[in-house]
A and B are shown apart, each in its own frame.
Chain A
Amino acid sequence: MSAASAAAAAPAPVPVVALRDVRFAWRPGRPVLDVPALEVAAGERLFVGGPSGSGKSTLLAVIGGVLVPQSGTVELLGRSLAGLRPAQRDALRAEHIGFLFQLFNLLPYLTVLDNVVLPCRFSAARRARATRGGRGVEAEAARLLGQLGLGDPELQARRVTELSIGQQQRVAAARAMIGAPALVIADEPTSALDADARMAFLDLLMAECRAAGSAVIFVSHDTALAAQFDRRITLHAPGVPHG
């Protein structure tokens, strides 16, 4: 199992993510993930493809520090996750990673705006970055929503359950990006959208991440989307990445 084309991207001084000899198995002897080397530079956009069951979500969980690999090292912004206590990993993740999932990303009982603001309530660093312009977190959330085509204040005050799936995913994108995290992890965020909405959503996401300087790790089985990214790797069951 090998990491391909890793050398092609010029590594930044401190990569956002660096994996070395990472192996993860739910049951001993049957690894679902085996990554000899993988680096994501600051602002880099990485597409991770591969069929279901190939370990894509496991890779994201390992990068996010939710799963701890049996061997190898995982570094987030130069800090090794292995040496951290769970609470420290949680804090590091909350501060530096924005998450975006396939569906049901949002809390149904909060308004659109409150959902977007949520990461700033759990991370002081995210809050500080979001309010760097001297505005409140709500204003920053409204600005992000505006960039994603959800600028209507009446819509922002609605409960998320009243929105279409496409709108919900854009709200989730705004939430992942508030407070400019170093890394946005997107796990099949477009699979519930139709083809047109998919490309439009991806364009918006990429533009915003570029503006914020966030690196993106984008997981999808839809290889048509891969052209938009700086780099592309493909995982093959059981968890073998190919360039």
Chain B
Amino acid sequence: MASPGTVIALAARSLWNRRGTALLTVFSIAVSVTLLLGVDRVRTEARASFANTISGTDLIVGARSGDLNLLLYSVFRIGNATNNITWQTYQELKDRREVAWTIPISLGDSHRGFRVMGTTLDYFEHYRFARDRGLEFAAGKPFAGVFEAVLGADVARDLGYRVGDRIALAHGLAATSFAMHDDKPFTVTGILRRTGTPVDRTVHVGLAGIEAIHLDWQSGTRLPGQSVSAEEAAARDLTPKAITAALVGLRSRAATFRLQRALNEYPAEPLSAVIPGVALQQLWELVGVVEVALIAVSAFVVLGGLLGMLAAILTSLNERRREMAILRAVGARPAHVFGLLVSEAFLLATTGVVLGMGLLYLLMAAGKGLVEDKLGIFISIRPPGPYDLAIAGLVMAAAIVMGALPAWRAYRNTLADGLTVRL
């Protein structure tokens, strides 16, 4: 009685003998597995990257709007604020007992396609990303004066700026704006270390700076004959009248829901307070449909790969009747022939899965930089997780089940052919 090892070894030798077609089958399985695992990787990495963008912040507070909208424009610089919150409301929020710190955010201007964000020094102290990493300076220091700016890593790299350069901000968000605040240029005082978050693509200035460049503006246009020079502006009272949103850190997490409710029912003006994690969850529910569709498509591609394997094995059966007959003549039973073909399917699928995983890691290593640059999504290269192993197991199991079909055909053939095939 032959051991399974003998049968598998024979299947491997037989496959190697037909390695041309076998490799094609293996590649088609490998590519499909890469796709299926890759979709999941991109999905989880994108989620992790989004989740990593903001951490340590308990509430985001802005003018009344949808939770998701508030999260997207305040943290991810996607979309625009519908309204502002008054400086007084912000002060009241800041002074509440349960509030440990706040970061004001004032958006609406841009610099050559990168968004400008007005904030305070609290930003550099309290903003956290990727669990518990704080902002660090690659060069220079935080802004201090009114017309000073700190650049994200991408802004500095893409535009070739260094500490000490002078830049002009544009009104509005278009990359080529005709409404320039070019009469009040900003000096770059610092460049942040790369974070892999939208911070890298942001120009940071003080709230006073935002106020100063808008002194002689109203309703989006420059007021004629009311030009205020930079020196005059710096001398004025530059306390902002409003900000776009605020990130809030609490002394105790336990107070989160209470404060959220209080802010959502704020009497003085309509506010929205969202918990970043909850809003992110809403986002995932939204994109979940697309993810499921992508995974379903990938799963069908894998099925296609396996069906290709099935077709390849089935078409090979006829020319291999002699091989089966020889095996029978040396003592292999029909069950061995059955096992031989199931082993063949298993070997093809296993090689395909291993190759597919290798391909995935190769692609991740190669595409890491590009994805970070273009999408701001950080890809961490980690060993195969339970999901990957489950998929691998599933593909191999499916291959075994599918291999049973040609195995059954070969089994029937062997019974009919006996020990010789007259070809």
- Report which A residues bind B (CB closer than 8 A): 57, 61, 64, 66-67, 86-87, 90-91, 93-95, 99, 101, 104-110, 118-119, 121-124, 126, 175, 187
Contacts and interface: CB of A to CB of B under 8 A. Distances in A.
Contacts of A119: 330-331
B236 to A, nearest CB: 89
Contacts of A175: 330
B418 A66 contact: yes
Contacts of B2: 121-122
B348 to A, nearest CB: 16
At the interface, is chain B mostly helix, strand, loop or mixed? helix
Nearest to B12: A109
Interface string B322-358: 1100110111111110000000000000000000000
Interface residues of B, number: 23
B331 A66 contact: no
B151 to A, nearest CB: 64
B1 A109 contact: no
A87 B333 contact: yes
B17 to A, nearest CB: 3
Contact of A106 (B1, B17, B326): B326
A123 B419 contact: no
Contact of A122 (B17, B322, B331, B420): B331
B420 A107 contact: no
Contacts of B329: 99, 101, 105
Contact of B327 (A57, A64, A107, A187): A107
B420 A121 contact: no
B16 interface: yes
Nearest to B323: A107
B21 to A, nearest CB: 14
What 5 A-B pairs have minimum CB-CB distances, sorted nearest first? A94-B331, A122-B331, A109-B17, A66-B418, A99-B329
Contact of B17 (A87, A108, A126): A108
A107 B323 CA distance: 6
B420 A57 contact: yes
12 contacts: A61-B419, A87-B335, A90-B331, A94-B331, A94-B333, A101-B419, A107-B326, A109-B17, A119-B331, A121-B2, A121-B331, A122-B333
A95 B1 CA distance: 10
